[in-house]
């Protein structure tokens, strides 16, 4: 198959958050890429609504974090609260403030708070930014019909859905960010392994302008309603009466897909006369699946194309964006000549462990949804009902904390045993779900701090590698920087002169990767800087990982 169009460097299939994030990561580094999407994604019913702390930090690095705040349909002062109650008309059961770390108060642990925002709003911000980058093109109504690859590149055949016309484009690499039904995954022979269809769920988007004023629970991003009739979850999508509603299994075993969604909403909330306009209904199943391979040759998978899990915890979209960041800087390094032959093999080696750990947590969260919390007499008046509600409240507070306090997962995942990380002989930090203790152990996310001038430490990191001096003068790094320059490795030297940094990083020097993970640390810069830089850029590595 011969390409007849203009050659590009990377073809990205899928213009959801993952594909667009990959385009931004590449485009900011001057990589020419084309993003193709068979649908018009903007305005579709959103499943993802949590843009977590780590994703927001990537948006800050890309210069669009403030833009997402500006265009959000949610009021800026809206509290990041999750409320459990029997119904919108019933008694409260539990309350989680600052759920998912969405409150705007500054915290030294991270540079950006999480944000509750519909996925289609985030997608439009990502699309707008991606399309503004030189060399990046985003085209809708275009699907991948097939591709072939050789040692030098990939030739993709693209079909224009409106006309059926086809065109061919040759690229150096191809990224399959085309979701759960990935055609790219099938084409490279990857198989999803794990457990299918934990539950069948109905996600409804509806308009009910009076809903916010028809209950006494206060403002929240999610209301979990626990009752024997219809356990469900709902929450606002904007400040003007747009809501989502999710039901799993009805008490009478009725399939939610066979019932009028407005009837379900009124049953679950207890607001039997609520005026409701149904906008969309999306029925989906929760899975626990991971691909047996993430790549073949010059073709890579990212996001839902290589991992699927229950949505509880808000990890899915955010984890996919993390895939795009990891893969994006590595592809750019290889294309620009400073990334070695082993660099791309580290993508699966690093991300698979993160996926498996995060998915395990999502499955645990899925094990305590409304159906599992219901108890006989939960809505009864009097002492028996009160005692039952106290029991359920204690179960919720103990069991659901890990779902809404997730920094240990979001920021605490590390690239253990990565072939492009240089170990320093120290023991890795213990991993927790809720608790996140910053650590500069190699492979961990670089610890954050707000500096005295009001800037984030991350704001000073470069687009390539960053050599951080936690104490001492910038001149100490001159020879190391010169060696990086001779190897064409982009390197920024940062010496903030903040007395908290030595303890925070546990060493005088730390080499930070483009994705803000620690590649190496030490009190003395290595005499053989060339060997160390070769290791962290994939020119040499401690072990082989085949794609």
Q: Is the pLDDT of residue 410 over 90?
A: yes
Q: What is the mean pLDDT of residues 379-398?
A: 95
CATH 3.30.390.30 for domain 8-73+114-193+288-363, yes or no, is no
Q: How confident is the model at residue 378 (pLDDT cuts 50, 70, 90)?
A: very high
pLDDT of 309 reads 85
Segment 262-285 mean pLDDT:
91
Tell me, yes or no, if the two domains 8-73+114-193+288-363 and 414-536 fold the same way. no
Q: What percent of the chain has pLDDT over 70?
A: 94
Would you say residue 41 has pLDDT above 90?
no
Tens of pLDDT, residue by residue over 173-186, are 999 999 999 999 99
Nearest to 53 by CA among 458, 350, 347: 458
- Read off the pLDDT of each residue in 398-418 and give the average, rounded to a whole number: 92
CATH of domain 414-536: 3.40.30.120
Q: Which two tokens stand for residue 273?
A: 């006369």
Window from 208-212, 373-377, 445-449 with minimum mean pLDDT? 373-377
In the three-class reduction of DSSP (H, G, I as helix; E, B as strand; rest coil), residue 174 is classed as strand
Distance CA 525, CA 508 (A): 9
Residue 388, judged by CB atoms within 10 A of its CB (0-12, 13-18, 19+), counts as middle
Mean pLDDT of 200-212: 90
- Give the CA diameter of the chain: 78
Who's near 524: CB < 8 A, 6+ residues apart?
508, 509
Kind and range of the H or E element at 121?
A: helix 119-132
CA distances from 244 to 4, 69, 184, 320 (A): 45, 20, 31, 22
The answer to whether 44 touches 140, Cβ cutoff 8 Å, is: no
What pLDDT is recorded for position 312? 79
Asked if 534 contacts 509 with a C-beta cutoff of 8 angstroms, the reply is no
Backbone angles phi, psi at 55, to 5 degrees: -65, -40
Cβ atoms of 265 and 247 closer than 8 Å: no
Q: Note the pLDDT tens digit of each residue in 63-105.
A: 999 999 999 999 999 999 999 999 999 999 999 999 999 999 9
- pLDDT 10s digits, 501-538: 999 999 999 999 999 999 999 999 999 999 999 999 99
The mean pLDDT of the chain is 92
In this model, does residue 480 exceed pLDDT 50?
yes
Q: Which of 194, 184, 177 is nearest to 285 (CA)?
A: 194
Greater confidence (114 vs 360) lies with 114
- Among 39, 7, 27, smallest CA distance to 168 is for 7
Instruction: Give CA torsion, residues 362, 78, 206, 92, to 10 deg.
Output: 70
pLDDT tens-digit profile of 122-165? 999 999 999 999 999 999 999 999 999 999 999 999 999 999 99
In angstroms, how far is CA 408 from the centroid of its own chain? Answer: 14
Q: Is the pLDDT of residue 408 over 90?
A: yes
pLDDT of residue 5: 43
Residue 541 pLDDT more than 70? Answer: no
* Nearest residue to 27 via CA among 10, 6, 41: 10
Q: What is the pLDDT of residue 6?
A: 52
Domain ranges for the chain, please list them: 8-73+114-193+288-363, 414-536
Tokens found for residue 295: 């790549």
One-character DSSP codes across 268-296: HHS-TT---EEEEEEEEEEEEEEES-SEE
17-27 vs 316-335: helix crossing angle, rounded to 10: 30
């Amino acid at each position: 198959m011969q390409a007849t169009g203009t050659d590009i460097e990377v073809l990205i299939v899928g213009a959801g958050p993952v594909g667009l994030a990959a385009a931004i990561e590449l485009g900011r580094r001057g990589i020419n890429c084309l993003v193709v999407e068979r649908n018009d994604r903007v305005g579709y019913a959103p499943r993802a609504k949590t843009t977590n702390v780590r994703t927001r930090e990537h948006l800050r690095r890309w210069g669009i974090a403030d833009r997402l705040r500006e265009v959000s349909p949610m009021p800026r002062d809206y509290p990041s609260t999750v409320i459990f109650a029997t119904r919108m008309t019933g008694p409260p059961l539990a309350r989680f403030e600052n759920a998912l770390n969405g409150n705007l108060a500054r915290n030294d642990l991270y540079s950006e708070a999480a944000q509750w925002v519909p996925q289609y709003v985030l997608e439009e911000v990502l699309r707008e930014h991606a399309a503004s980058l030189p060399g990046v093109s985003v085209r809708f109504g275009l699907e991948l019909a097939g591709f072939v690859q050789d040692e030098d590149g990939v030739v993709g055949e693209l079909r224009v859905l409106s006309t059926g016309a086809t065109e061919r484009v040759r690229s150096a690499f191809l990224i399959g960010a085309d979701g759960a039904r990935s055609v790219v995954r099938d084409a490279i022979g990857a198989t999803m392994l794990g457990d299918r269809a934990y539950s069948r769920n109905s996600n409804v988007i509806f308009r009910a302008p009076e809903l916010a004023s028809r209950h006494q629970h206060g403002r929240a991003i999610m209301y979990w309603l626990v009752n024997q009739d219809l356990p469900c979850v709902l929450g606002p999508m904007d400040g003007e009466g747009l809501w989502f509603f999710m039901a799993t299994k009805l008490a009478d075993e009725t399939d939610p897909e066979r019932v009028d969604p407005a009837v379900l909403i009124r049953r679950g909330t207890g607001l039997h006369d609520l005026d409701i306009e149904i906008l969309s209904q999306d029925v989906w199943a929760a899975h626990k699946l991971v691909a047996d391979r993430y790549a073949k040759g010059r073709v890579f998978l990212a996001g839902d194309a290589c991992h699927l899990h229950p949505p509880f915890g808000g990890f899915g979209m955010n984890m996919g964006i993390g895939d795009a960041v990891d893969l994006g800087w590595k592809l750019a390094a290889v294309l620009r000549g400073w990334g070695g032959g082993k660099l791309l093999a580290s993508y699966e080696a690093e991300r698979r462990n993160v996926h498996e750990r995060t998915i395990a947590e999502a499955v645990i969260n899925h094990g305590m949804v409304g159906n599992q919390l219901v108890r006989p007499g939960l809505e009864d008046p009097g002492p028996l009902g009160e005692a039952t509600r106290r029991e359920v409240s204690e179960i919720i507070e103990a069991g659901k904390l890990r779902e809404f306090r997730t920094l240990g997962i979001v920021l605490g995942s590390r690239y253990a045993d990565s072939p492009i990380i240089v170990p320093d002989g120290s023991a890795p930090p213990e991993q927790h779900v809720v608790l996140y203790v910053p650590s500069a152990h190699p492979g961990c996310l670089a610890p954050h701090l707000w500096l005295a001038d009001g800037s984030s430490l991350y704001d000073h990191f470069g687009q390539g590698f960053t050599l951080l001096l936690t104490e001492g003068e910038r001149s100490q790094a001159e020879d190391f920087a010169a060696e990086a320059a001779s190897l064409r490795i982009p390197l920024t030297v940062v010496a903030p002169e903040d007395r908290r940094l030595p303890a925070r990083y546990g060493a005088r020097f730390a080499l930070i990767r483009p994705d803000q993970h620690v590649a190496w640390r030490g009190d003395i810069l290595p005499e053989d800087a060339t060997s160390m830089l070769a290791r962290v850029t994939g020119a040499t590595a401690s072990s082989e990982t085949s794609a």
